[in-house]
A and B are shown apart, each in its own frame.
Chain A
Amino acid sequence: MSISVSTTVNGDAVDFICNPEESLLDALRGRLGLTGSKEGCGTGDCGACSVTLNGRLVCSCLVLAVEAEGAEIGTVEGLASADRLHPLQQAFLDHAALQCGVCTPGILVAAKALLEKNPDPSDEDVRYWLAGNLCRCTGYDKIVRAVQSAAAQMRSA
């Protein structure tokens, strides 16, 4: 049985058809071609699929696609404007906060949600907020520095 879903992704109204079992992540990647969100585990343990759902940070693998009906969804594809990277994206490049980069979309979405809630986090705040985003390459050091750098820049902007 297929279900028609009308939702908003990164500010754009979109419709898709999905099966009731399908996750939001599957719909974003498979139905809408938004492959920036990654599936690292499918069980909410790695955070690579992080998106915002009505402003809340969630794992899109733990949301049914049908739950997107009428919702506002934010993904990594919505971070940059046409001519400008989000300060977090720029900071991740400037601080070499990625190696393989597969966890990066989820971490950027999560870090953006953090800075909206807490513009001046401690390193410990950043580390605990991002504990659900596994990164196997960097050891997190440069990620924390990049988030703090972006936070400082966003505070002074």
Chain B
Amino acid sequence: MAFDSHQKREFKQVGTRPPRPDGIDKVTGRALYGADVSAPGMLTARILRSPHPHAKIVAIDTSEAAALPGVKGIVTGADFALPDDEFFADIAVNVMARDKALYDGHAVAAVAAISPAVAAEALKRIKVTYEVLPHVTDVDAAMRADAPVVQPGRAVETVPAGMGANVTHFCEFGHGDVADGFAKADLVVERSFRTAATHQGYIEPHACLASMTADGKADLWCCTQGQFNVRTICATLLGIEASQLRVSASEIGGGFGGKTTVFIEPVALALSRKTGKPVKLVMTRDEVFKATGPTVSTSIDVKIGMTKDGRITAGEAVLRYSGGAYPCGTVDMGAQAAFAAYDLAAVRTTGWNALTNRPKEAAYRAPGAPQAIYAVESVVDELCLALKLDPLDVRIRNAARKGTKSSYGPTFDDIGLLATLEAAKAHPHYTAPLKPGQARGLSCGFWFNFGGNTCVSLNVNTDGTVGVTEGNPDIGGSRASISLMAAEELGIEYDKVRTIIADTSSLGYNDVTDGSRVTFSVGLATIKAARDAIGKMCGRAAKIWGIDEDAVEWRDGAAHPAGPNAGQFPPMTLAEIAAVSFQTGGPIAGHHEVNVDGAGVSFGVHLVDLEVDSETGATKVLRYTVFQDAGRAVHPDYVEGQMQGGAVQGIGWALNEEYIYGRDGRLQNAGFLDYRVPVASDLPPIDTVILEIPNPGHPYGVRGVGETPIVPPLAAISNAVSRAIGVRMQELPMSPPRILKTIRAARA
């Protein structure tokens, strides 16, 4: 995409920090989230889940439950179409099991009843006959030839000898002669790493309210990152047409990727269809952990060669990911991202996915990248230590830059890695003295950023205000950013613009809020929709002035004659043009529909200081600074918010968060008590430094910022812990028992 001339202009609105439009609703408790709406006469639904990690479902007897007074409807897997397409079929089977329960918590039946108490009682009366099967939850074990087969017939055709039937995916990336590169190195380090599955941990459990009538018309209210995606999936699973299903996205209480798919929505719709009443379905926290998207769990080998002066000669990584009980391509993104920060002559990554008896993976903030980059950045740190090199200097020396052929193929355009590394080096944090027992760690991070299908309408109201209608749920302040860009482009005040999120019947298709795409893609479409409206407003002014449309230009929120030859007319503001629009041709609106390309990649660098209690293995994070290229920070408060929030999720991943399975294959910690997300007292302030290296693919230079910040903390913390205790940590999370064991083993 061509570099946009507007990109270098002086911004009046973009870069300021006005209050968010949904703010007062959210601080007064008025904002309506998934579970906050009810319908007259609605029923309450509950889902029965398998207690077994792997079991054949021999029979489901619902007769006793159905006979319970107040029970209005029961559905099982038989009530849903099984689409031919594998993508939809896997979702269908995950939403409601068919012949087999594939993990602890897999849905097997659902009930709609007149009250939560009746629904809960009905679940107890559903009799499921299981034939328990051997299970596997560990990725390495699952890849072996003798592992229990999670889903027969899903293995990738290229599975080599020695790998089992659970291996569903293979990928390979890279360039150059890796063997030659290692031969040129002064030191080659090869290490293996493991990372636990983690959960997005959004505070709002999945919730929806469905209403479907006998003629096939349906309305669905739900918390989702993408109402259009929900419509597509639900319409497919229920065998109805997209036009008949209107999906409205509620305010969303966090998603981080985990609400980019569906779990309960088709169930609520099916129960509504069956009972003829609205049905509300809200997950418990236990269900959220057991049955919604954790990340992949991984096992990774990394080998890197380096010269004495810090030049990386070659890099190689083998990644084994498990996305749970269904085929999963997330390893692709890990294999592509692993070495993205480096300019390498020789690099190769290969990736495998294995099925395990765990819940179906859902996206989590930069899916696949944190694990791979953790492994690579750990080995780079070990090389720096062994060769006595400054870890920032080494990264600067080897940094990917404009013109670098990336490790995954494309050649980078303008990217901000070098500037970000140099900012870190110049920052006082990097040279602040450390006390005895304290250590500093750092890591680079990377995310591709997405564009995608986007559709925006912009309506100019007759009172000179503007409504922007977009189709991506606002997950962290994006309505403010979109309003800022509309105001900027139109040349009007921020508070003259109101941005709303449309339901699926009110706007064209939009991809889900994912891949850090919204401020970039929706912003781009908003700017272009504003330009569309500006064109129309210039036309109206031309008409009023009786001059050519081409002789009118838009400046500072008003139409002006383009030059002395165009005539002498006082400028007409947006409000003035809008006020007479009914007399000049009718309402004024701008639109833009596009499949956006050109999302510029995003790099970040994190610095952390911490100390480890060598008697207990407890880690205390003392100081944390995030450096990241935002391209252009539209609303810096929310850019900082993404950087801080992502960093803290990464800190949690590094130190304490993990899915813990028992020998029985059951999840041991399905709650916030033992799935330990960071609490306020665990953390220091998270300082932020925003770099702005404009993305050539966006009119204002915007890059997505949401995902990159979860990537560096894993290795930054691990590198600091390893330096603090003098032993390389190779497994996440670095819970106190693991650290203490590592310290003891090293001393023994």
Name A's B-contacting residues (CB within 8 A).
Answer: 19, 21, 29-30, 34-43, 45-46, 48, 75-77, 79-80, 85, 89, 92-96, 98-105, 108, 123-124, 126-128, 130-144
Asked if residues B647 and A139 are in contact (CB atoms below 8 Å), the reply is yes
Q: Known contacts A46-B203, A93-B23: does B28 contact A76 (CB below 8 Å)?
A: yes
**CA of A77 to CA of B29 in the docked complex: distance in angstroms?**
6
Of B101-109, B249-257, B547-555, the one contacting chain A is B249-257
Contacts of B678 in A (CB 8 A): 139-140
**CA of A41 to CA of B686 in the docked complex: distance in angstroms?**
26
Q: Known contacts A101-B26, A137-B254: does B681 contact A131 (CB below 8 Å)?
A: yes
Q: Which residue of B lies closest to A95 (CB)?
A: B637
Contact of A138 among B28, B33, B641, B679 (CB under 8 A): B641
Given A37-B29, A41-B285, A45-B672, 20 more A-B residue pairs with CB atoms under 8 Å apart are A29-B35, A34-B29, A35-B29, A36-B30, A38-B35, A39-B35, A40-B253, A85-B27, A89-B28, A93-B19, A96-B20, A96-B641, A100-B253, A100-B476, A101-B22, A102-B204, A131-B680, A136-B649, A137-B645, A139-B683
Name B's A-contacting residues (CB within 8 A).
Answer: 17, 19-20, 22-24, 26-33, 35-36, 38, 117, 200-205, 251-256, 282, 284-285, 475-477, 637-638, 640-641, 644-649, 671-673, 677-681, 683, 685-686
**CA of A42 to CA of B120 in the docked complex: distance in angstroms?**
15
Asked if residues A140 and B649 are in contact (CB atoms below 8 Å), the reply is no
Contacts of A102 in B (CB 8 A): 33, 202-204, 251, 253-254
Asked if residues B680 and A136 are in contact (CB atoms below 8 Å), the reply is no
Asked if residues A139 and B254 are in contact (CB atoms below 8 Å), the reply is no
Q: Known contacts A94-B19, A102-B254, A142-B641: does B648 contact A108 (CB below 8 Å)?
A: no
**CA of A19 to CA of B120 in the docked complex: distance in angstroms?**
14
Asked if residues A108 and B27 are in contact (CB atoms below 8 Å), the reply is yes
Asked if residues B671 and A45 are in contact (CB atoms below 8 Å), the reply is yes
Contact of A127 among B27, B30, B648, B681 (CB under 8 A): B681
**CA of A79 to CA of B284 in the docked complex: distance in angstroms?**
28
Q: Known contacts A43-B671, A79-B28, A136-B256: does B17 contact A96 (CB below 8 Å)?
A: yes
Asked if residues A124 and B648 are in contact (CB atoms below 8 Å), the reply is no
Q: Known contacts A93-B24, A101-B22: does B29 contact A75 (CB below 8 Å)?
A: yes
Query: A-side binding surface: helix, strand, loop or mixed?
Result: loop
Q: Which residue of A lies closest to B32 (CB)?
A: A35
Asked if residues A46 and B33 are in contact (CB atoms below 8 Å), the reply is no
Asked if residues B681 and A141 are in contact (CB atoms below 8 Å), the reply is no
Q: How far is the CB of A106 from chain B (nearest CB, A)?
A: 9
**CA of A102 to CA of B427 in the docked complex: distance in angstroms?**
35
Q: How far is the CB of B366 from chain A (nearest CB, A)?
A: 15
Contacts of A133 in B (CB 8 A): 680
Q: How far is the CB of B476 from chain A (nearest CB, A)?
A: 4
Asked if residues A101 and B251 are in contact (CB atoms below 8 Å), the reply is yes
Asked if residues A130 and B680 are in contact (CB atoms below 8 Å), the reply is yes
Q: Which residue of B lies closest to A108 (CB)?
A: B27
Asked if residues A43 and B27 are in contact (CB atoms below 8 Å), the reply is no
Asked if residues A144 and B202 are in contact (CB atoms below 8 Å), the reply is no
Q: Known contacts A35-B36, A48-B203, A137-B641: does B31 contact A101 (CB below 8 Å)?
A: yes
Q: How far is the CB of A151 from chain B (nearest CB, A)?
A: 15
**CA of A76 to CA of B36 in the docked complex: distance in angstroms?**
15
Q: Which residue of B lies closest to A77 (CB)?
A: B29
Asked if residues B203 and A135 are in contact (CB atoms below 8 Å), the reply is yes
Q: How far is the CB of A97 from chain B (nearest CB, A)?
A: 9
Q: How far is the CB of B253 from chain A (nearest CB, A)?
A: 3
Contacts of B201 in A (CB 8 A): 134, 136
Counting from the closest, the 10 A-B pairs by CB-CB distance are A36-B29, A102-B253, A139-B648, A101-B26, A96-B637, A45-B672, A139-B644, A99-B476, A76-B29, A89-B27
Contacts of A104 in B (CB 8 A): 26-27
Q: Known contacts A94-B19, A143-B680: does B685 contact A38 (CB below 8 Å)?
A: no
Contacts of B22 in A (CB 8 A): 101
**CA of A84 to CA of B682 in the docked complex: distance in angstroms?**
34
Asked if residues B285 and A127 are in contact (CB atoms below 8 Å), the reply is no
Q: Which residue of A lies closest to B480 (CB)?
A: A96
17 residue pairs bridging A and B, Cβ less than 8 Å apart: A35-B36, A42-B285, A76-B28, A100-B476, A101-B26, A101-B253, A102-B251, A102-B253, A102-B254, A103-B253, A104-B26, A133-B680, A136-B200, A136-B254, A136-B256, A137-B476, A139-B683
Q: How far is the CB of A58 from chain B (nearest CB, A)?
A: 17
**CA of A108 to CA of B24 in the docked complex: distance in angstroms?**
13
Contacts of A80 in B (CB 8 A): 27-28
**CA of A102 to CA of B125 in the docked complex: distance in angstroms?**
34
Asked if residues B35 and A100 are in contact (CB atoms below 8 Å), the reply is no
Q: Known contacts A108-B27, A142-B641, A142-B644: does B672 contact A41 (CB below 8 Å)?
A: yes
Asked if residues B204 and A100 are in contact (CB atoms below 8 Å), the reply is yes
**CA of A19 to CA of B646 in the docked complex: distance in angstroms?**
41
Contacts of A94 in B (CB 8 A): 19
Highest count of chain A CB atoms <10 Å: which of B27, B200, B205? B27
Asked if residues A96 and B28 are in contact (CB atoms below 8 Å), the reply is no
Asked if residues B681 and A103 are in contact (CB atoms below 8 Å), the reply is no
**CA of A43 to CA of B675 in the docked complex: distance in angstroms?**
13
Contacts of A144 in B (CB 8 A): 680, 685
Asked if residues A140 and B285 are in contact (CB atoms below 8 Å), the reply is no
Asked if residues B27 and A136 are in contact (CB atoms below 8 Å), the reply is no
Q: How far is the CB of A8 from chain B (nearest CB, A)?
A: 18
Q: How far is the CB of A52 from chain B (nearest CB, A)?
A: 14
**CA of A123 to CA of B24 in the docked complex: distance in angstroms?**
25
